[in-house]
Amino acid sequence: MRTKITIYNTIVSLLSQVLFLILSIIFPRLIILAFGSEVNGLTASINQILNIINLLQAGIVGASIYDMYRPISDNNKEMVGKIYYSAKKYFNKLSLIFFVFGVLIIPLFLINSNNDISFAETFLSVVILTLNGALIFRYITSYDIIISAHQKKYILVYSSLIEKIIYYFLLVIVLYTKVHFIFMYISLLCGTVIRIVYLKYYFNKYYLNSIRDYSTETNYKVKNQFYLLANQIVQQIIESGPTLIITTFYGLATVSIFSLYNMIVSAFKMIFTTIQNSIAPSFGDLSVSNKRQSSIIFDVLQLLFINLGEIVSSCLIVLCIPFIQLYSNGFTDVNYINVKLAFCISFLCLSYCIFMPYNMAINANGQYRSVTKQNIFYGIIFSLLAIGLSIFDYTYCIICFSLFYIVSSFDRVYIINKKCFSLNIKKHVRRIIFAIVYPIMYYVIFSKIVISTWVGFLLFGFLYFIISSLFILVVDFIFDRNTFRYVYELIRSKL
């Protein structure tokens, strides 16, 4: 049953993310053509700052989901109710703090940016996007806890799909009529409200009756939530760091340049995160019941993520500049071509894929405390280094944040092996080193190819993807035959 749910979660999530990927690539170009680069940069800057403020809820979400695995497995509805209603009480209070922080802090942060957008327009944009974030904070996160812990991630995907359909439908109307860009944010708010209505209906139908008797028991203390919060604050600062640094030192037009390159990475990161989120509940459930089996499954997951990172980063390092050249055709206010930025973005994507499975294993086994001190130390060091080097060139800050993921990955390998389950450390180090070398090799071979049309881009991209994927499979078969054999036996046993 666990395997079927995981497979279904993954398939539904991936299909939806492919759709979101396509839409997230199409619409920024339309927004820039309609409203200019600075509006695109303004949206990216506000959202990144909101992501940091949103970390007020980060610790309790992940820790609450982990705490629910055991009572759900034991059918302990009382404990499930206590965890849910305690978390909901926490979110209700902090959603107001989130809104106040956003409205007061973000305009001050943006006021010194070099741009032609008025303060009134900036402030109204902040209010609407912050209200949207506060609604997510207050409602969706509490539903997320109980739905994710029950391994029903596909329900969250459905809700997100409904939200995106509403948002993009209204956005098309805004772009077609060319009304004020503020209506883009109102469209997003409408999608969020509809999503909340859908999740409330599902929660009331399937979970409310079984736990409503414990709605007054809101004093449950989630274990290790502050350690998880500290870790996620560091990771969100690392993720948002480039946008914040570029906003501070270079202005919204340069943020728009970075956002187009980062748009590609973010689209793929959405897919990677979707796979992780689909797998995490089942893996977390397995981790509390069978350490030996979880070790074997983790080896498969780590190979999967590192292969995805190798394929995507090698495609980015070769295809990113041709894509940006074609995509930015017709943009007259800013030059979007930056080879160094393409190289750095490729490395950022790869480092994130290397990091993800180890971080998932830490969270699934509740080992937040074991990595907190190192996370804070690495975060401070690489953030200061990024700020210092960005004075010379903003692309350097991306390299610094990428190195954070690499160093943290090696640290997590040691902790997982010591406190969670056994790992073949030499094998994992070998995989990471090869993953770093692999895209560079392909850049040397293919970077001089000139692509001038979308048809040529798509044909070359498809052939390049097939070649790179086959090469990785050959290497895997040589060095990781045992892992392949296990996957084959697992699939055969399920047929």
pLDDT tens per residue across span 414-449 = 888 887 777 888 888 888 888 888 888 888 887 777
Residue labelled with tokens 């894929």: 353
Which pLDDT band holds residue 166 (cuts at 50, 70, 90)?
very high
Top pLDDT among 115 and 96 is at 96
Residue 153 · residue 283 · CB < 8 Å: no
Cα separation of 442 and 439, whole Å? Answer: 5
Task: Please give the C-alpha separations between residue 405 and each of 214, 373, 379, 383, 432, in angstroms, as whole numbers.
Answer: 41, 15, 10, 12, 12
Which pLDDT band holds residue 226 (cuts at 50, 70, 90)?
low
Q: Encode pLDDT of 372-396 as tens digits.
A: 888 889 889 998 999 999 888 888 8
> SS3 of 397, please?
helix
Nearest partner of 353 among 414, 273, 411, judged by Cα: 273
Identity of the amino acid at 98: F
Task: Please give the C-alpha separations between residue 357 and each of 70, 331, 353, 374, 490, in angstroms, as whole numbers.
Answer: 22, 38, 8, 18, 20
pLDDT at 38: 80
Most confidently predicted of 183-187, 311-315, 424-428 = 183-187
Residue labelled with tokens 């790179």: 468
> SS3 of 250, please?
helix
Residue labelled with tokens 């340069």: 254
> SS3 of 115, please?
coil
Residue labelled with tokens 């409408």: 190
Neighbours of 160 (CB within 10 A): 20
pLDDT at 385: 92
What b/e sequence results for 379-414 when a residue is b if at least 16 CB atoms lie within 10 Å of its CB, and e otherwise? beebbebbbebbeeebbbbbbbbbbbbbbbbebbbe
* Model confidence at 231: pLDDT above 80: no
* Model confidence at 197: pLDDT above 90: yes
Task: Please give the C-alpha separations between residue 447 and each of 343, 364, 464, 469, in angstroms, as whole numbers.
Answer: 11, 40, 12, 18
- The reported pTM is 0.71
- Mean pLDDT, to the nearest integer, of 57-70? 69
Largest Cα span, the chain: 66
* Model confidence at 161: pLDDT above 80: yes
% pLDDT > 70, the chain: 86
* Model confidence at 327: pLDDT above 90: no
Task: Please give the C-alpha separations between residue 469 and each of 371, 474, 489, 492, in angstroms, as whole numbers.
Answer: 33, 9, 22, 23
Q: Name which of 11-20, 105-114, 150-159, 344-353 the model is least confident about.
A: 105-114
Nearest partner of 472 among 460, 461, 484, judged by Cα: 484
Top pLDDT among 311 and 21 is at 311
User: Which residues does 208 contact at the CB level (< 8 Å), separation at least 6?
Assistant: none
Cα separation of 383 and 400, whole Å? Answer: 7
- Mean pLDDT, to the nearest integer, of 361-370? 77
- Mean pLDDT, to the nearest integer, of 399-423? 85
pLDDT at 243: 80
pLDDT at 381: 92
* Model confidence at 117: pLDDT above 80: no
pLDDT at 170: 93
Which pLDDT band holds residue 451 (cuts at 50, 70, 90)?
confident
* Model confidence at 318: pLDDT above 60: yes
pLDDT at 190: 94
Nearest partner of 281 among 149, 102, 144, judged by Cα: 149
Which pLDDT band holds residue 1 (cuts at 50, 70, 90)?
very low
Q: What integer best gives the mean pLDDT of the chain?
A: 81
> Tokens for 231?
């870790």
- Mean pLDDT, to the nearest integer, of 247-272? 78
